[in-house]
Amino acid sequence: MFYKQEIGSMKKPDYLISAYGKEEFHTLKKRALKETVELMESAGLDNIGIGGEMYRWEMYENPVDHLDGLVYYGRVRSFDNRYYKKASVVGKIKRKSSAYLEEFIDVQEIAKKDIKVPITGPYTLMDWSFNDYYPSRLELGLDFARAVREEIIELEEHWKGKGPLRVQIDEPAASTHPWEVSTFVEIFNETVKNLNNVKISSHICYSKDYRSLYPYILEMKTTQLALEFSNRDTTNLGIDDDSRRGFRVIKDLMDMGENREIGIGVIDVHTDFIEPPELVRDRILYVAKFYDIEKIIINPDCGLRTRSREVAYKKLRSLVEGTKLAEKELS
Amino acid sequence: MLKAFVSGIFPRQDELIGAINRFEKKRISFEELEKIFRRCEEEWLDLQKGLTIVSEPSLGWNDIFRPFTLNIKNLEAGPLTRYLETNTFYRRPIFSDYPVKENSVLEQKNEYGLPFYIRSDSKVILPGPYTFVKSGEYPSNLDERRLVEKMAEIVFDESSNFKYIEFKEPLVQDLNILKGLEDIYSTFSGNGYISTGIRQKSYLDFSLPYTISTYIENPPENIILGIIDVFSTKIEDFQNIEDNVTITTNESLEFLPFRIAKEKVLAIRKLLGVK
């Protein structure tokens, strides 16, 4: 009944982490990809994404390394003692090499389940960079959009599967500047315009308030929104508004016109707490009370890279088992 | 005379980020971590020599609220939440009741056992009570104004050990909000200023100096100009700065990579004629 998907990243095995920056990283990454795909498939997911992003060090650095016009001066805090390299735009943004193709070709060889390519969105690339060159954020964002679009077209040319290629555009920065949502949508739509055999979903997480994206987001050319809710939910069982306070906002989104496929984050990726399947069940049943069941997709809040692989596996198992419980209730 | 200094939490050096990571994985001892931490703090204090005010780098703070969310009764560190319009996240303060201070907050240690400050004669940052409450979450039976007052009592009490305080109030974004806090801030008896999120060119009389993130000519004495941009890696060209103003950063220095933050501090030193 419910389609269960991964959102993106998984923690890399220790042997791959210690090989980072060395030649052997390139020989070990395929082994890590294979192991991660097997782990995700054995957890019971229908869609394993790109196999945990084993070929990418980080969602921002990876695409930036394949673009001209940016330089790094160092790292900036993400949270606690987690830092990311934040580049400065010092020239015109242009794609110089493939950011995703090698990984995409390899995962097609390995995966038995559906795949979906997560790609860092142009608005997020813009927002997470210092702009020392472009006169406006829109102009910068549109050049990032053109570069990302070239990536997607290249993947489409190498797609060997049946049906449309699934691409997930990750835009965690989408709601960062509520006054700029129309700009975000314009940049997003420039990225996906005239793509033929591609099914686009969009992942937006850690928004202060998803409602701030409306009404402009309704113009976004995406078939699915995969969003984060468990981070702000309680861990109590129940399908009442209070127990499920993290998911209540979906009702508001519906009132504002949302009716696309919605990927609901039923697993909090920032804690080692393993959600019992019954909690996952209740999160799904709560949303199923008011949202079109056929348009509900099940996923974690975000990529699981901040958890150990053991914890991530247990969380994915819980997601699968909890979904089964919900399906049983609903049938 | 031109006055200039920097603001907020400072960026951790790569060496310290790496040391904390290794400590968390039990690959180095606490003593090794502490040694690196103190060396990094000293480096920042040293870099600021000659600035009008020397600030505690606060390298032990994981976010602007954390010493308080960890150490105040009826408060806990909640979910990761975006800080303003940045890509940096804090743990949202969750109130279960009105906050109660049981021990000195900044005397406690952080998550890694490191101190929150090393010199009480430097400027210390403290979260502004308004921003603290507005950035948090509380049950509907608690009154927001009362929460702000209670937080102010705690924060002001904490400030008494220090010579000079920067209250971080980025959610004070217009003069009306600031005006509404006059009663609260008038009870603060120490030295310090409020770093606000105000960008307006107008200003009002207030019991404490405060920042506005724009340049104005001949500002009153209690206005500090937050014109050093932590959201750009371009080093400021300080030509045309009048010599009767006080300037600082528009937000915490930690939004810059260490290398650029250091270059900006060196540019300020040059502006002040420090060799």
What confidence score (pLDDT) does residue A240 get?
Answer: 97
The answer to whether residue A79 sits within a structural domain is no
What confidence score (pLDDT) does residue B203 get?
Answer: 86
Give the distance from residue B24's alpha carbon to the nearest chain A alpha carbon, in angstroms. 10
Collapsed DSSP state (helix, strand, coil) of residue B128: coil
- Region B31-38: mean pLDDT is 98
Q: Identify which of A81, A127, A206 has the shortest CB distance to residue B89.
A: A206
Instruction: Dump the DSSP string for B151-217.
Output: HHHHHHHHHTT-SEEEEEETT--SHHHHHHTHHHHTT--SSEEEEE----S-----SS-EEESS--S
What's the whole-number average pLDDT of chain A?
Answer: 96
Tell me, yes or no, if B256 comes closer than 8 A to chain A by beta carbon: yes
What confidence score (pLDDT) does residue B80 get?
Answer: 86
A208: pLDDT strictly greater than 80: no
A224: pLDDT strictly greater than 90: yes
What confidence score (pLDDT) does residue B173 get?
Answer: 96
Could you tell me which of A239, A160, A235, A150 has the C-alpha nearest to residue A195? A150
What confidence score (pLDDT) does residue A175 get?
Answer: 87
What confidence score (pLDDT) does residue B82 get?
Answer: 87
Interface of B with A in 22-61 (CB under 8 A): 24
Could you tell me which of B84, B244, B267, B232 has the C-alpha nearest to residue A129? B232
Residue found by looking up tokens 């990418």 in the block: A56
Residue found by looking up tokens 């990283």 in the block: A25
The answer to whether residue A26 sits within a structural domain is yes
Query: Tell me: the pLDDT tens digits for A56-94?
Result: 988 999 999 999 999 999 999 999 999 999 999 999 999
Euclidean distance between CA atoms A128 and A60, whole angstroms: 8
- Region A261-289: mean pLDDT is 97
- Rg of chain A (C-alpha set): 19
The answer to whether residue A250 sits within a structural domain is yes
Query: Tell me: the pLDDT tens digits for B143-202?
Result: 999 999 999 999 999 999 899 999 999 999 999 999 999 999 999 999 999 999 999 888
Contacts of A127 in chain B (CB under 8 A): 87
| Chain pair A-B, CB pairs under 8 angstroms | 79
Contacts of A208 in chain B (CB under 8 A): 81-82
One-letter amino acid for residue A80 of the chain: D
Q: Identify which of B80, B111, B255 has the shortest CB distance to residue A270.
A: B80
B275: pLDDT strictly greater than 90: no
The answer to whether residue A322 sits within a structural domain is yes
Eight-class DSSP state of A223: S
Q: Is residue A111 a contact partner of residue A160, using CB atoms and an 8 Å limit?
A: no
Query: Tell me: the pLDDT tens digits for A115-148?
Result: 999 999 999 999 999 999 999 999 999 999 999 9
Contact A79 B90 (CB under 8 A): yes
- Rg of chain B (C-alpha set): 18
Residue A132, domain CATH = 3.20.20.210
Give the list of residues 6+ apart from residue B223 with CB closer than 8 angstroms, or none. Answer: B203, B209, B210, B211, B212, B216, B246
Domain span at residue A62 reads 3-66+94-330
Q: Is residue A258 a contact partner of residue A287, using CB atoms and an 8 Å limit?
A: no
Chain A interface with B: residues with Cβ < 8 Å = 72-81, 83-84, 86, 88, 127-128, 130-132, 172-173, 176-177, 206-208, 231-232, 270
Could you tell me which of A230, A235, A271, A268 has the C-alpha nearest to residue A249? A230
The answer to whether residue A123 sits within a structural domain is yes
Contacts of A241 in chain B (CB under 8 A): none
The answer to whether residue A108 sits within a structural domain is yes
A176: pLDDT strictly greater than 90: no
Query: Tell me: the pLDDT tens digits for B104-136?
Result: 999 999 999 999 998 888 999 999 999 999 999
Interface test with B, best of A18, A76, A132, A241 (most B CBs within 10 A): A76
Euclidean distance between CA atoms B12 and B117, whole angstroms: 14
Q: Is residue B155 a contact partner of residue B129, using CB atoms and an 8 Å limit?
A: yes
Give the distance from residue B39's alpha carbon to the nearest chain A alpha carbon, in angstroms. 18
Report the number of distinct structural domains present in chain A: 1
Query: Tell me: the pLDDT tens digits for B37-91?
Result: 999 999 999 999 999 999 999 999 999 999 999 999 999 999 888 899 888 999 9
What pLDDT band is residue A206 in, cutting at 50, 70 and 90?
Answer: confident
Tell me, yes or no, if B79 comes closer than 8 A to chain A by beta carbon: yes
Q: Where are the domains of chain B?
A: 3-271
Euclidean distance between CA atoms A205 and A134, whole angstroms: 27
The answer to whether residue A82 sits within a structural domain is no
Contact B62 A74 (CB under 8 A): no
Euclidean distance between CA atoms B87 and A127, whole angstroms: 8
Give the list of residues 6+ apart from residue B237 with CB closer than 8 angstroms, or none. Answer: none
Give the distance from residue B21's alpha carbon to the nearest chain A alpha carbon, in angstroms. 7
Euclidean distance between CA atoms B28 and B20, whole angstroms: 9
What confidence score (pLDDT) does residue A312 get?
Answer: 98
Cis peptide before A215 (omega within 30 of 0): yes
Its CATH class, for the domain covering B3-271, is: alpha beta
- Region A223-241: mean pLDDT is 96
Tell me, yes or no, if B81 comes closer than 8 A to chain A by beta carbon: yes
Q: Is residue B256 a contact partner of residue A76, using CB atoms and an 8 Å limit?
A: yes
One-letter amino acid for residue B264 of the chain: K
Sign of the Cα torsion A152, A154, A159, A164 reads positive
